[in-house]
Chain A
Amino acid sequence: QVQLQESGPGLVKPSETLSLTCTVSGGSVSSSSYYWSWIRQPPGKGLEWIGYVYYSGSTNYNPSLKSRLTISVDTSKNQFSLKLTSVNAADTAVYFCGRRECSGGSCYEGHWGQGTVVIVSS
Chain B
Amino acid sequence: QSVLTQPPSASGTPGQRVTISCSGSRSNIGGHPVNWYQQLPGAGPKLLIYNDNQRPSGVPDRFSGSKSGTSASLAISGLQSEDEADYYCVAWDDSLNCPVFGGGTKLTVL
- Chain B residues in 8 Å Cβ range of A112: 44-46
Q: Mark B88-104, 1 if CB is under 8 A from A, else 0.
A: 10101000111111111
Known contacts A46-B88, A46-B104; A105/B2 CB under 8 A = no
Decide yes or no whether B35 CB sits under 8 A from chain A.
Answer: yes
User: How many B residues touch A, CB cutoff 8 Å?
Assistant: 28
- Chain B residues in 8 Å Cβ range of A46: 2, 86, 88, 101-104
Q: Which of A47, A96, A105 contacts B51 (CB 8 A)?
A: A105
Q: Mark A50-78, 1 if CB is under 8 A from B, else 0.
A: 01000000001111000000000000000
Q: Which of A47, A61, A107 contacts B92 (CB 8 A)?
A: A107
- Nearest opposing residue in chain A for B86, CB measure: A46
18 pairs, A vs B, C-beta closer than 8 Å:
A39-B45, A46-B88, A46-B104, A47-B45, A49-B90, A49-B100, A51-B98, A60-B97, A62-B96, A63-B97, A103-B50, A104-B54, A106-B33, A106-B52, A108-B35, A108-B51, A109-B47, A113-B44
Leading 9 A-B pairs by shortest Cβ distance: A106-B51, A106-B33, A46-B104, A112-B44, A108-B50, A108-B35, A47-B101, A49-B99, A46-B103
